Amino acid sequence: MRNIRLFWQIFPACVGITIFSMVLAAWLATTTGRGFYIDHLKQEIRERALLIEPTITSLSKGPERQLQEFVRQTGRRAATRITVIDADGMVLADSNEDQALMDNHGKRPEVEPALAGETGFSVRRSKTIGESMLYAAIPVALQGIDRRGALRLAIPTVSTEAMLSALQWKLFGIGLAVVGLAALLSLWGARRISRPLEEMKRGAEQLTSGRIDQLVKIKSDHLSMEMAGLAGSINQMAEQINRRIQIIIQQRNELEAVFSSMADSVVAIDADKKIIRMNQAAAVLFGLPPEVVKGKDVLGVIRNGALLEMVDCTLTRNIQQEQKIALFNGTDPILLQTHAVPLRDEANRSIGVLLVMNDLTKLNRLENIRQEFVANVSHELKTPITAIKGYVETLLDGALDDRDNAQRFLGIVARQANRLDAIVDDLLILSRIENNRTQEQIELLTGEVGPVLESALQTCAVHADARNIIVQIEYDEALLAPLNQPLLEQAVINLLNNAISYSPEGSLITLRCCGSTNLQGEHWVHLSVTDNGPGIAREHLPRLFERFYRCDKARGRDQGGTGLGLAIVKHIAQAHNGTVEVESLPGQGSTFTITLPAAKAS
């Protein structure tokens, strides 16, 4: 059944009741007035008939012409039609028509009771004169006639009908006015009732659609007590729902922010193995956008048997699981610490699985680097410590008395102590650079690169002269870069010292600085050190800048290096937002290049 608006249930009913009441009132007024007036006319015409009855009785003794004349004259004066009828229904006299031409009136409805001795009345249209007439007939004694006759009087009811018609028109006009007024009042009342309900409906629809920013405030002024109470309850309910929705939205935004910013990969799966949600970390892990995989089958997104087995087991057994799983993304395996947690509804029924995957690959790599670093440091420190300990013990065992050996042994101890000191200094420098870079405490000021090369050359000049090596310097004085001069100078010194140490005596080393522009329009400054040393095999190049890594460990220690020089160069370059690279072939020398972003001249 189709629902109808409350307005159309109230307004037509009120107007219909008003129209029905007015029609009923008009009908009652018309019928009652007409009956009352007809009764009044009946009484009046009967009295008239009784007044002339004795005269009719007395005149019926004489000539018929005399009776006819009386009837005609009296009817004209009284504006009443008078008819005398004998017992057989024959008209003896009539005030308006010739009685000889008139038909028998014995069966007329008003005449029959009169001939029977009673008063008869009838309201009908006269066939003779063609008007609506009120007829009243009373019994009358006619002299010279054996049976009793009837005296009938008739008066027209046209005036009565006209009066009643005018009354009907007045009642019709009044009824229209009353119906119009009632319609307006009904319209106002229906609007007054339905409008607050429509506002309540609109407010409920806005709450349903989640539009809490434009809630409808229902005014309870000029409403009925029940409607005002309902409006107040709905307003209070809307405020409470609005407040709770805002809390829910805030909590949802907080959870969304936490979910999106989690470093761990999180995937929510429903009971049908469809993906509900996936955070950004999981999207990066599986190489798929989170919006695309929503609603997809988990078999098409996660193609790892161990993960799928965890999902199936968690859905089946409804228990939490934890396992380390290797995921192959390309060539390198990714180690994931995976937690599978059942998702439950308010009735504690399982509705899905939540996968939380923590990437342990970097942590394992860092752990391996740490172990390797500790091992390298221990090895580098153990060599001089062992040498110092051995020669000291030799001196304590009696070699101290032999002056020549004692001096030679103490010289070795001093060199090993200096090496220990150099290793510790380099470790401290490396730690300080990394720490300052992490805390962004390294200040970079725009300056010329040429003075850095000059200063590094002056520092290494003694070492170069000792090996009879010529250092050639080339640079453009216009080149500028954001730099920290002491740190950058230290990096160039490390590269230059290595070149001097590994180059043959009497060779040439080139210290060069030049600029370049790439396809994106970015400007760069390149600081390079080129030597004519033995070169470096290709397999050593990728690990050359690792801490304590040596191509030839015996020769590196003989040269007095700590194994940290190139690692320091790499971190200094990174602190300047740059890079360091090496080009080398065995027997053809090496070129180490530090690339820094250039600065515009002021």
CATH topology match: 7-163 vs 262-359 = yes
Inform me whether the pLDDT recorded for 214 exceeds 60. no
Inter-residue contact 105 to 91 (CB < 8 Å): yes
In this structure, which amino acid lies at residue 473? Answer: I
Strand partners, 355: 267, 340
Distance, in Å, from the CA atom of 321 to the CA atom of 334, rounded to the nearest integer, reads: 19
Question: What is the β-pairing status of strands 508-517 and 470-475?
Answer: parallel
Instruction: Indicate the range of 75-84, 197-206, 292-301 predicted with least confidence.
Output: 197-206
Per-residue pLDDT, 377: 63
Q: Which of the residue ranges 2-11, 263-272, 492-501 would you say has the lowest mean pLDDT?
A: 2-11
Decide if pLDDT at 586 tops 80. yes
Domain boundaries, the chain: 7-163, 262-359, 364-438, 445-597
What pLDDT shows up at residue 584? 86
Q: Could you give the CA distance from residue 140 to residue 387 in angstroms, rounded to a whole number? A: 174
Q: Please, which residues have CB within 8 angstroms of residue 582's CB and are 6 or more apart in sequence?
A: 536, 541, 544, 590, 591, 592, 593
598, 515 contact by CB (below 8 A): yes
CA angle 546, 552, 553 (to 5 degrees): 75
User: Does CATH place domain 7-163 in 3.30.450.20?
Assistant: yes
Q: Is the pLDDT higher at 456 or at 204?
A: 456
Strands 590-597 and 523-530, by their bridges, are antiparallel
**pLDDT higher at 373 or 110:** 110
Angstrom distances, CA of residue 306 to CA of 187, 317, 336: 72, 16, 11
Q: Say which residue the tokens 């009042």 belong to.
A: 185
> How many CA atoms, within 13 angstroms, populate the side-chain half-sphere of residue 378?
6
Phi, psi of 259 (to 5 degrees): -65, -45
Confidence of residue 484 (pLDDT cuts 50, 70, 90): confident
- Read off the amino acid at residue 128: T
Q: Which residue has the higher pLDDT, 215 or 369?
A: 369
| Cβ proximity of 484 and 444 under 8 Å | yes
pLDDT digits (tens, 9 = 90+) for 378-423: 656 666 777 777 777 777 777 667 777 777 777 777 776 776 676 6
pLDDT value, residue 559: 52
Query: How many Cα atoms sit within 13 Å of 200 on the Cβ side?
Result: 17
The pLDDT value recorded for residue 79 is 82
pLDDT digits (tens, 9 = 90+) for 114-165: 888 888 888 887 766 667 788 888 888 886 555 678 888 888 877 767 777 7
* Length of the chain, in residues: 602
Kindly state the average pLDDT of the residues 363-373.
67
Is the model's pLDDT at 457 over the cut of 60? yes
Separation between Cα atoms, residue 339 and residue 356, nearest integer Å: 5
Alpha carbon separation from 110 to 134, 154, 497 (Å, rounded): 10, 10, 154
Q: What is the separation, in whole angstroms, between the first and last Cα of the chain?
A: 84
Q: 158-209 vs 6-59: helix axis angle to the nearest 10?
A: 170
Average pLDDT over residues 204-210: 68
Please report, as a single letter, which amino acid is at residue 359.
D
**Which amino acid appears at position 351 of this protein?**
I
Going by pLDDT thresholds of 50, 70 and 90, the confidence category of residue 554 is: very low
Residue pLDDT, tens place only, 516-536: 888 887 888 898 899 888 888
Confidence at 555, pLDDT banded by 50, 70, 90: very low
Amino acid 601: pLDDT: 63
User: For 68-72, 200-204, 283-287, 458-462, which range has the lowest pLDDT when averaged over its residues?
Assistant: 200-204
Q: What is the mean pLDDT of the chain?
A: 78
Q: Which two tokens stand for residue 207?
A: 């709450």
Q: State the residue for tokens 């009136």.
A: 105
Q: Which of the 8 DSSP states describes residue 402?
A: S
Residue with tokens 């030049």: 514
How far apart, in whole angstroms, are the C-alpha atoms of residue 295 and residue 274?
5
* pLDDT-wise least confident of 209-218, 295-304, 592-601: 209-218
Element (H, E) at 199: helix 158-209
Q: Which residue has the tokens 């001196």?
A: 395
List own/partner pairs for 281-284 with CB under 8 A and 24 or more apart.
282/357
Q: DSSP assignment of 473-529, as one string?
A: EEE-TT-EEEE-HHHHHHHHHHHHHHHHHHSPTT-EEEEEEEEEE-TTS-EEEEEEE
Query: What is the rounded distance in angstroms from the CA atom of residue 364 to the CA atom of residue 591?
Result: 33
Q: Determine which of 73-87, 366-380, 491-505 has the lowest per-residue pLDDT on average.
A: 366-380
Give the whole-angstrom CA distance, residue 386 versus residue 493: 30
> What distance in Å separates the CA atoms of residue 483 and residue 437, rounded to the nearest whole number?
13
CATH number of this structure's domain 445-597: 3.30.565.10
The answer to whether 581 and 601 are in contact (CB under 8 A) is no
For residue 557, what are the CA distances in angstroms to 41, 422, 469, 548? 152, 12, 21, 11
Burial category of 99 from C-beta neighbours within 10 Å (exposed 0-12, middle 13-18, buried 19 and up):
middle
Largest alpha-carbon pair distance within the chain?
Answer: 205
Return the top range by mean pLDDT from 220-234, 279-293, 389-403, 585-599.
585-599
Q: Residues 255, 259, 262, 264: what is their CA dihedral angle, to the nearest 10 degrees?
A: 130
The pLDDT > 90 percentage for the chain reads 0
The string of pLDDT tens digits covering residues 56-88 is 888 877 777 888 888 888 888 888 888 888 888
pLDDT of residue 411: 78
Type of residue numbered 330? G
* CATH architecture for residues 262-359: 2-Layer Sandwich (3.30)
What DSSP designation does 348 have?
S
- Give the residues across from 482 on adjacent strands: 446
AA identity, residue 106 = G
Q: Residue 94: beta bridge partners?
A: 83
Q: What is the pLDDT of residue 9?
A: 67
Query: What DSSP line would sit under 114-179, residue for residue?
Result: HHTTS-EEEEEE-TTT-SEEEEEEEEEPPTT-SS-EEEEEEEE-HHHHHHHHHHHHHHHHHHHHHH
pLDDT of 459? 82
CATH topology classification for 364-438: Helix Hairpins (1.10.287)
Q: Which two tokens stand for residue 386?
A: 């062992």
197-225: average pLDDT: 65
